[in-house]
Amino acid sequence: VEHPAKATNRETREHNERLVLATVYDSGPVSRADVARLTGLTRTTVSDVVEGLLASSLCEEIGHGPSTGGKAPILVEIPSEARLLVGVDLGDQVFTAAIVNLRGAILQRVDAPSESTNGEGALRLAIDVMERALSLAGAPVLGVGIGAPGLVDASAGTVIQAVTRDWRMLPLGPIVADHFGLPVYVANDCQAAVLAEHVFGATRGPNLITVKAGQGIGAGLVINGETFPGDGYGAGEIGHTIVDPGGRMCRCARRGCLETVASMPAILVELSDRLGHPISQEEALRQFRLGEPDAHEVVLEAGRQLGAALGGLVGALHVRRFVLAGTMAAFGEPWLEAVAAAAADRALGALAADTTFELGRIDDVVVLGASALLMTRELGLSLHPFGSPRPPRTPVAVAVAGAAAASTPGLAARLGAAP
């Protein structure tokens, strides 16, 4: 029988460090006195923590604020590039590694076509794009966040299974951590996508579902402010739920999966059938925008099929906000409306009325989600912290792949001295 561990002094210190860091990140430039006021911590504690953050160059003094009678207070802030994040998207068609700042801006990016590579070759290509991105970083790097396809054990950094890459039980996180000597976090790409919306998006509230519809279809869930991987990392794997028994053959060797009726390949197959010749994604998009009837009909039907599947989730989870991303989102508002209408048709009226579907407004959603994973796990930072109704937590060390973060000293100590 396990019990909650007692709160130790170390945990309390790290909790307070994260609290100060998050406050300076959100409210900076800010004085130490204001940080004390905002956090409820004593001025001595705040000063101690800020000293540590200054010593590690994570925080900077940037001059004096207005005096409120006495001495003008010194203001501190967290420079956007105090640390850089490497965000990686191991996409179906392209591998991308980008240098991202602490506010979610992409500073540099390296892309490599990835469609024809798998196994060891795909792993080498992934490390290669990261290496090239790292060589472009102009400031100290916090670590690497990776959005990977397939079932991913995010606590160990292992890709359990990624059929498209022929990866099985690949310890991707530890391999990359060993290679670069940096902390590395790995998550499923759809779970990274939902984290991008949660951390860098305009989101409020503790719950969010992001649906990525493109080559495949998958969802990512944020539940109570945390990505929810399920009991075995498969949460969000909605693409291979059968919605049309006896329908078209799927790449998973069964018939009528959601992907066979609502993904980009599905509409290209259907359009090709109608037109009597193959059609590219670009051409389908062009025809849709021109209002070509076949393209319109096929795309909206795909939207309705996706919406009908999501309708089941509306009732089961009552999560108010669904964000749609992936290449299908390029079909824009008409497609979105088809999705939303079909979902509403399927769900209990009161719940449907309470649920919004919107298009993701974040480009490079997996790159940014992987960066967000790294930033939240290493620093506890989020651009949009939400007011959780739940008890505050004493943060403890998160399992990190690789030796670089194997021990768990205080946050400032772990970040090292100013480089």
d(C-alpha 127, C-alpha 56), whole Å? 28
272 binds its own copies (CB under 8 A): no
Looking at residues 25 to 44 of the shown chain, list those that interact with its own copies (rule: CB under 8 A).
26-27, 38-41
Give the residue, chosen from 339, 347, 401, 412, that forms a contact with its own copies under the rule CB under 8 A: 347
CB of 397 to its own copies, least distance (A): 9
Give the residue, chosen from 395, 408, 410, 413, that forms a contact with its own copies under the rule CB under 8 A: 395
234 binds its own copies (CB under 8 A): yes
Give the residue among 56, 55, 65, 53 at the shortest CA–CA distance from 24.
53
Give the range of 65-73, 261-269, 391-399, 406-414 binding its own copies by CB under 8 A.
Answer: 391-399
d(C-alpha 280, C-alpha 376), whole Å? 39
232 binds its own copies (CB under 8 A): yes
Q: How many residues does the chain have?
A: 419
Give the residue, chosen from 70, 246, 291, 349, that forms a contact with its own copies under the rule CB under 8 A: 349
CB of 333 to its own copies, least distance (A): 24
Give the range of 99-107, 134-142, 164-172, 344-352 binding its own copies by CB under 8 A.
Answer: 344-352
Give the residue among 134, 156, 162, 95 at the shortest CA–CA distance from 366.
95
Looking at residues 316 to 335 of the shown chain, list those that interact with its own copies (rule: CB under 8 A).
316-321
365 binds its own copies (CB under 8 A): no
Looking at residues 146 to 165 of the shown chain, list those that interact with its own copies (rule: CB under 8 A).
151, 155, 161
70 binds its own copies (CB under 8 A): no
Give the range of 87-95, 102-110, 307-315, 371-379 binding its own copies by CB under 8 A.
Answer: 307-315
| Residue 22 or 130 having the CB closest to its own copies | 22
**What are the contacts of 262-266 at 24+ separation with CB within 8 A?**
262/213, 262/217, 262/302, 262/303, 262/305, 262/306, 262/309, 262/328, 263/213, 263/214, 263/215, 263/216, 263/217, 263/239, 263/302, 263/328, 264/213, 264/214, 264/215, 264/326, 264/327, 264/328, 265/215, 266/302
Map residue 135 onto helix, strand or coil.
coil
